[in-house]
Amino acid sequence: MANITFSSPSLAKDVTVYAVAGDRGTILAVAKEHKIPIPFDCQDGECGSCLIEVKQLDAQRTHAISLTEKEKEQLRQLGKITAEEIKNAETSDVAPRFRLACQYIVRDEDIIVSFVGDETIP
């Protein structure tokens, strides 16, 4: 079971979603399913509009961090990841601070996902 808490100025309050087996996909897919307004465009790791900040709540649990080439390149272009962060992710499973919601596959972990967003929910 994964607890994903979405936090954004565009949400009236934080929203926690329980992603269960079979409900697994990308963060963006889970957000859409629960009407969380993470901005997106290409949904393919190429535009950077779905930028999110991810905080792991269980620092004890380490997971293999899978960054696709597209995601690395896009985060690099946005200035949101350093060469050292990429190395740490790939060799030590240290999660980088920023990710792309359309590329991040939800795993068995508790995380806080922050995004800026451009829609305001009343």
Q: Which residues bind ligand FES (CB under 6 A)?
A: 40-43, 45-50, 74, 100, 102
Check: CB of residue 3 under 8 Å from CB of residue 110.
yes
Q: Where are the alpha helices (DSSP H) in the chain?
A: 27-33, 69-77, 83-92
Tell me the closest approach of the beta carbon of residue 37 to ligand FES, in angstroms. Answer: 13
Report how far residue 6's alpha carbon sits from residue 95's, in angstroms, rounded to the nearest whole number. Answer: 18
89 or 101: CB nearest ligand FES: 101
40 or 115: CB nearest ligand FES: 40
5 or 49: CB nearest ligand FES: 49
Tell me the closest approach of the beta carbon of residue 48 to ligand FES, in angstroms. Answer: 5
